[in-house]
Amino acid sequence: MGADQPQRLPSHTPTCMGCGPDNPHGLQLEVFRCGDEVFADLVFDERHIGAPGLAHGGAIAAACDDVLGFSLWIAATPAVTRRLTVDYLQPVPLGCTHRLTARIAAREGRALHVEGVGVGVDGVTRFTASAVFITVDAAHFAAHGDISGFGELFAELTRYGGPDAGSRSR
């Protein structure tokens, strides 16, 4: 698969609120990697309503946290959110597609500084986000629940992640 070919990334878990396909109340995001960026096409619906006809800021923030968190595939390490900032620039209408694209802006030790932008199909930038994620190991998650399903995900992350993973074949 070439560096310019998007690669679909696996969900964090099947029940993840952001990307889990088995969570009927979640966003069910499908996230892709292309080179040194990750992206998802978002369509907020009536489950995500804030003001009439508009997406709730919390739903937008949840999507940003999840998609920016997929930068772990670029860094090739598990990571958790330390800080997330969302700038709401324009109202986000329900039923309209927005592409949220994220990339790692800097890495300082265990801290990944990630930036994202949400642009509608009309070309209007409606929100931006920045986050700091802290790299962790499996023990971080083991302290909070069953991580038996994470072993395969962590192995795949290490095997297929990293800055040049977009140029590797599966």
Supply the pLDDT for residue 170: 31
Q: Domains in the chain: how many in total? A: 1
Inside any domain, residue 169? no
Query: What's the pLDDT at 10?
Result: 92
Does pLDDT of 161 surpass 80? no
* Domain CATH for 64: 3.10.129.10
Cβ-Cβ contacts under 8 Å for 120 (sequence gap 6 or more): 92, 96, 97, 98, 126
Is residue 170 in a domain?
no
Residue 26 domain-assigned (yes or no): yes
Residue 43 in this model has a pLDDT that exceeds 90: yes
Q: Which domain holds residue 58?
A: 7-160
What pLDDT, in 10s, does the model give residues 15-24?
Answer: 999 999 999 9
Average of per-residue pLDDT values in the chain: 87
